[in-house]
């Protein structure tokens, strides 16, 4: 009986040691992953806020600039793509497309001084500008949480724990390559 207690004690000791090492590391991964998910939810929340503001802004502009349907249509299309996007990469691309369409809208607005003076339009633009800032902050916070998570996945002993429990690196919210180019607006006014 005493012969069995020695090896059994060693096995129990190894199991306890592994539990002491793995449990805190696993819990850290769970916490970090939840932080990433929570930050991503904030990005989605701010993108939704922007999508909710856009129809009001577009309707206000429609009253002043009825013949600018192409720009308004581009905004509606980009907004639809953003609403249907799945995951950070698709949302980033759709977000960049929507930002470009909104930039073209602002160029159109410059041609309508009465619109710029309209209180409803001013209020909507202020809310949209605030939302754009919130989106930027939320994206930055999300990417910071992703960086924290990914560092843990890549470091030892986190790498071992991550592979055992299936924690994979998370995707950053990146700007689309096309977003690095300023939007081109052409009203066909060239008289050359």
Q: What is the domain class of 39-136 according to CATH? A: mainly alpha
Domain ranges of the chain: 39-136
H or E segment to which residue 14 belongs: helix 2-64
* Assigned token pair, 169: 């690196």
For every residue of 73-89, DSSP letters joined together read: HHHHHHHHHHHH--HHH
Overall average pLDDT of the 42-51 stretch: 88
Nearest of 34, 21, 45 to residue 149 by alpha carbon: 34
pLDDT digits over 82-139, tens only? 888 888 888 888 888 888 888 888 777 777 666 666 777 778 888 888 888 898 899 9
Q: What confidence tens digit (pLDDT) does each residue in 149-179 have?
A: 999 999 988 898 899 999 999 998 886 665 5
Q: Nearest to residue 56, comparing CAs of 9, 125, 147, 2?
A: 125
Tally Cβ neighbours within 10 Å of residue 13. Answer: 10
Nearest to 43 by CA among 162, 170, 155, 131: 131
Is the overall model pTM greater than 0.75, yes or no?
Answer: no
Is the pLDDT score of 65 beyond 70?
A: no
């Amino acid at each position: 009986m005493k012969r069995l207690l020695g090896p059994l004690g060693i096995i129990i000791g190894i199991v306890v040691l592994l539990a002491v090492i793995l449990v805190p590391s696993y819990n850290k991964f769970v916490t970090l992953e939840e932080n990433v998910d929570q930050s991503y939810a904030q990005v989605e929340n701010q993108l939704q806020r922007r999508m909710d503001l856009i129809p009001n802004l577009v309707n206000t502009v429609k009253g002043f600039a009825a013949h600018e349907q192409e720009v308004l249509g581009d905004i509606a299309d980009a907004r639809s793509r953003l609403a249907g996007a799945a995951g950070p990469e698709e949302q980033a691309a759709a977000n960049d497309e929507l930002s470009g369409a909104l930039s073209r809208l602002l160029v159109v607005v410059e041609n309508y001084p009465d619109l710029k003076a309209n209180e409803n339009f001013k209020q909507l633009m202020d809310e949209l500008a605030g939302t754009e800032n919130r989106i930027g902050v939320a994206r930055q916070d999300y990417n910071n949480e992703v960086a924290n998570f990914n560092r843990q996945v890549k470091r030892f002993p986190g790498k071992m724990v991550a592979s055992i429990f299936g924690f994979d690196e998370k995707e950053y919210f990146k700007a689309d390559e096309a977003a690095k180019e300023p939007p081109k607006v052409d009203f066909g006014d060239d008289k050359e």
